[in-house]
Amino acid sequence: MALTATEAGTRKLSTAKAMVEGIAQEMERDPSIFVMGEDVGAYGGIFSSTTGLLERFGKDRVIDTPISETAFLGLATGAATEGMRPIVELMFVDFFGVAMDQIYNHMAKIHFESGGNVKVPLVLMTAVGGGYSDGAQHSQCLWGTFAHLPGMKVVVPSNPADAKGLMIAAIRDDNPVIYMFHKGVMGLPWMAKNPRAIGTVPEGDYQVPIGSASVVRAGKDVTIVTLSLSVHHCLDVAEELAQEGISCEVIDLRSLVPLDRRTVLESVGKTGRMVVVDEDYQSFGLSGELAAIVAETDPGMLRRPLARVAVPDVPIPYSRPLEQAVLPTHSRIAAAIRKTVA
């Protein structure tokens, strides 16, 4: 997406409001779209992902469900096979365990098993991430789990403009798209404020293409590959390290499936150094995948060993000092970059 200043305008929205605006504009355009999930109606989504939609579109299109994720996620799949375009919310991604069969055995596989004869156009949006002491069952990112299983596109916006553009792209996509929004980028009034959670959002309809990463800061010494809330931590660290003469290039992946390998490889080819910052678990996940992509392309591309800043393989602890010790925080990111460029 390349918008001129005039097109982009100056109107600012939170990520949550940008998401809702994208959904609402699409619902105006296409009557086959409906929103379904727990507390998406009168409450407006626990993380404000559906605020105002009930008032605007009514209870036939903005539908509160029982706490029956298997039933309503499966219902969304079935409705999609009959030509509707559901947007269904799984309140926390951590809850996927009660309904994963519907996700990876049905939603993700029906198109393939049917030899392409049945399409499943739906958006499964879900809240991810920690940092506010919600404990091991309400703080995970888990995008690596969904990206690992074939048949689902996976998008992870980090800011308001991308959140709207990726939402519109996800709704118009003919595949199941898992839309993972970090609670820490939503701009919620009841959570620590991230200054970039409120930003300029174009008013019209536009898409951020799924599978396209964004170089959010250009640099020459080291490539920081990251996504979601960690993008903001990395931008803060990059600004600080610039004072020390370290020039960081920061890539916001925005999509995991499909993954924009080219943008990563071009940058690493230029800097010769890579640090992956990922709020998901470290082993068998995104950071290992990126290392493999670089090694498969050209092991000589890296002038220094790569570094990974992820959640070490431990459930997310509750107590603040413990949680902060395992998340990819400012100090861990800065240390990893300094070591890589040393």
Partner 1 sequence: MDPKVKVELYRTMVLIRSFEETILQHYHADKSPAWDIGAGLIPGEMHLSAGQEPVAAGICANLTASDAITATHRPHHLAIAHGVRMEALAAEIFGRETGLGKGRGGHMHLFDPGTHFSCSGIIAEGLPPALGQAFAFQRRGLPNVVVAVTGEGAANQGAFHESLNLAALWKLPVVFVVEDNDWAISVPRTASTAVPSNAARAAAYGIPGERVENNDVEEVWRVAKGAIKRARSGDGPTLIEVHTVRLWGHFEGDAQAYRNDLEEAKAHDPIEVYAGLLAREGVLDTKGAAKIKEECTKEVASAIDFAKTSPLPDPAGALQYVFA
Q: Which of 106, 111, 138, 233 is catalytic?
A: 138
Q: Which stretch binds partner 1 (CB under 8 A): 79-87, 180-188, 235-243, 331-339?
A: 79-87
- Confirm or reject binding of residue 68 to partner 1 (CB under 8 A): yes
Smallest distance from the beta carbon of 11 to partner 1, in angstroms?
Answer: 34
Q: Which residue matches tokens 């071009």?
A: 266
| Type of residue numbered 222 | V
Give one word for 284, left, alpha or beta, with left for phi > 0 and alpha for psi -120 to 50: left
Smallest distance from the beta carbon of 100 to partner 1, in angstroms?
Answer: 10
Q: Residue 119 or residue 338: which is nearer to partner 1 going by CB?
A: 119
- Confirm or reject binding of residue 66 to partner 1 (CB under 8 A): yes
Q: Residue 103 or residue 337: which is nearer to partner 1 going by CB?
A: 103
- Tell me, by CB under 8 A, how many residues bind partner 1: 43
What angle do helix axes 286-297 and 261-271 make, rounded to 10 degrees? 70
Smallest distance from the beta carbon of 98 to partner 1, in angstroms?
Answer: 8
Q: Residue 121 or residue 160: which is nearer to partner 1 going by CB?
A: 121
What angle do helix axes 15-29 and 160-172 make, rounded to 10 degrees? 30
Task: Restricting to residues 166-195, name those near partner 1 by CB under 8 A.
Answer: 174-175
Distances (CA, A) of 244 to 23, 236, 240, 247: 43, 13, 7, 9
Q: For residue 299, with 0-12 CB atoms within 10 Å meaning exposed, 13-18 middle and 19 or more buried, which class applies?
A: exposed
- Smallest CA-to-CA distance from 226 within 294, 157, 178, 179 is with 157
Q: Residue 19 or residue 76: which is nearer to partner 1 going by CB?
A: 76
State which of residues 47, 72, 92, 179 lies at the interface with partner 1 (CB under 8 A).
72
Angle at 158 between CA 120 and CA 185, to 5 degrees: 110
- Confirm or reject binding of residue 209 to partner 1 (CB under 8 A): no
State which of residues 42, 55, 114, 209 lies at the interface with partner 1 (CB under 8 A).
114
Give the residues across from 87 on adjacent strands: 35, 123
Task: Restricting to residues 150-169, name those near partner 1 by CB under 8 A.
Answer: 150-151, 153
Q: Residue 257 or residue 276: which is nearer to partner 1 going by CB?
A: 257
Token pair of 81, please? 């096979």
Q: In this structure, is the dihedral angle defined by the CA atoms of residues 184, 100, 91 and 17, taken in order, positive or negative?
A: positive
State which of residues 80, 124, 171, 327 lies at the interface with partner 1 (CB under 8 A).
80
Q: Residue 38 or residue 323: which is nearer to partner 1 going by CB?
A: 38
Distance CA 105, CA 31 (A): 28
- Confirm or reject binding of residue 77 to partner 1 (CB under 8 A): yes
- Smallest CA-to-CA distance from 131 within 25, 17, 232 is with 232
State which of residues 14, 25, 50, 65 lies at the interface with partner 1 (CB under 8 A).
65
- Confirm or reject binding of residue 75 to partner 1 (CB under 8 A): yes
Mark whether 138 is an active-site residue.
yes
Give one word for 246, left, alpha or beta, with left for phi > 0 and alpha for psi -120 to 50: beta
- Residues assigned a catalytic role: 138
Q: Residue numbers of the site for partner 1 (CB under 8 A)? A: 34, 60, 65-66, 68, 70-84, 86, 98, 101-102, 105-106, 109-119, 121, 150-151, 153, 174-175
